Amino acid sequence: MKTKLKERKPWIKRGPLKTFSFFLGFSAVIWVVVQFSKEYTEVLEMPIIYTNLPKDKILVGDTPRTLDLRIRDRGFYIAWNRVFPQKITIDISDATEDGKSLFYDLEQQKTAILSQLNLDYEKVVFLQKNVKINFEQRAVKKIVVLSTIDLSFSVGYSALEEIKLQPDSVMVSGSANILDTLRSINTKPLKINNISNDVQGKVQLETGNIKDVSFYQEEVNYSVRTEKFTEGKVEIPIKLLNVPEGTNVVIFPKDVVIYYQVSLKDFEKIDTSSFVVAVDFKNSHDSDGFLIAQIIEEPTQVNNIRLNEKKIQFVIKR
């Protein structure tokens, strides 16, 4: 019987402890509510958002991004805005221009500002008379658009020409210092597979990594002309260039085979004489007895050209 009483003893103490903890927590909550219900006067820093900036102007770095206000209100409001400060929108169209600065009169616009903060007129004092908004005239420039479109054609098909972008350049505006370093803009990566017909569409420009610059347009059109291709080949003699007078040079092989792709409709139009392959004897020094063959002329209709042999052996006969 004594053992059972000893085992129950801790449970007897736990009841008063729970009651004490409850009233202690409840009292703390009441104290916090009472304290935060009182009025306090504090200086709060509110972030600024500028709107309706003229299109020919750009804000410079020393323009204020926050506004200090002395606010008298309940503790709840003060505490909340310290943790989650409200953003104040300043309409630049209400500012007056003076040289290279715009001045936004806080007292004149006090009603508009306080309506955003849900505060009474007499509870707020601005710690400055106005906001000085510094600006500079926007520079304008045209930059080239570069394609990052990856094209993959079906077997037997290829592009008749390079991918076309329209427009191939776009107008941008911003600070002159930034635009001086900007030369081009890429399209967003795009992959098109199994192409067997003409392709066209729109692609966005990769503007995300370019800050403080306005683009007059953020997408361009692209188009690719596609045709069914076949492979052709032709064997032609190699020309030997820049051989000094009185020097007898013999090359081997004397002919090379050129492989090329051409559209079916142009296959019969290819003239063998339109291909010219040559080696330049000027490059014979330190060449280990070989010259590199190069295609120096080719028909405009062909692409993917390659030689069956590039290293051409040469011998100088005395």
Q: Which long-range contacts (CB under 8 A, 24 or more apart) does 101-107 make?
A: 101/132, 101/133, 101/134, 101/135, 102/132, 102/133, 102/134, 102/135, 103/130, 103/131, 103/132, 103/133, 104/130, 104/131, 104/133, 105/129, 105/130, 106/67, 106/130, 106/131
Residue 267 lies in a domain: yes
Confidence of residue 1 (pLDDT cuts 50, 70, 90): very low
CA dist., res. 200 & res. 76, Å (int)? 59
Residue 173 lies in a domain: yes
Asked whether residue 255 falls in the same domain as residue 280, the answer is yes
Fill in the amino acid letter for 51. Answer: T
Asked whether residue 106 falls in the same domain as residue 186, the answer is no
CA dist., res. 99 & res. 134, Å (int)? 9
Residue 21 lies in a domain: no
Confidence of residue 116 (pLDDT cuts 50, 70, 90): confident
CA dist., res. 314 & res. 287, Å (int)? 10
What CATH number should be reported for the domain holding residue 266? 2.170.120.30
What CATH number should be reported for the domain holding residue 54? 2.170.120
Instruction: Provide the pLDDT for residue 204.
Output: 96
Asked whether residue 41 falls in the same domain as residue 61, the answer is yes
Tally of structural domains, the chain: 3
Stronger pLDDT, 72 or 254, i.e. the higher one:
254
Pairing between β-strand 226-241 and β-strand 255-263 as defined by DSSP bridges:
antiparallel
Instruction: Provide the pLDDT for residue 297.
Output: 93
Residue 10 lies in a domain: no
Instruction: Provide the pLDDT for residue 12.
Output: 45
Question: C-alpha angle with apex 35: 30 to 41, nearest 5 degrees?
Answer: 165
Q: Which of 207, 224, 241 is the last residue of a domain?
A: 224
Asked whether residue 55 falls in the same domain as residue 143, the answer is no
Instruction: Provide the pLDDT for residue 149.
Output: 95
Residue 4 lies in a domain: no
Asked whether residue 154 falls in the same domain as residue 130, the answer is no
Range picked from 76-90, 94-108, 227-241 for highest mean pLDDT: 227-241
Residue 11 lies in a domain: no
Question: C-alpha angle with apex 55: 208 to 47, nearest 5 degrees?
Answer: 65
Range picked from 81-85, 193-197, 264-268 for highest mean pLDDT: 193-197
Q: Where are the alpha helices (DSSP H) in 38-191?
A: 75-83, 110-117, 176-179
pLDDT at residue 55 is higher than 90: no
Q: Which of 167, 189, 224 is the last residue of a domain?
A: 224
CA dist., res. 212 & res. 219, Å (int)? 18
Asked whether residue 45 falls in the same domain as residue 118, the answer is yes
Residue 181 lies in a domain: yes
Annotate 50-82 with b (16+ C-beta within 10 A) or e (fewer): beebeeebbbeeeeeeebebebbbebebbeebe
**Residue 115's domain spans which residues?**
37-136
Q: Which of 164, 193, 224 is the last residue of a domain?
A: 224
pLDDT at residue 26 is higher than 70: no
Asked whether residue 194 falls in the same domain as residue 161, the answer is yes
pLDDT at residue 120 is higher than 70: yes
pLDDT at residue 75 is higher than 80: no
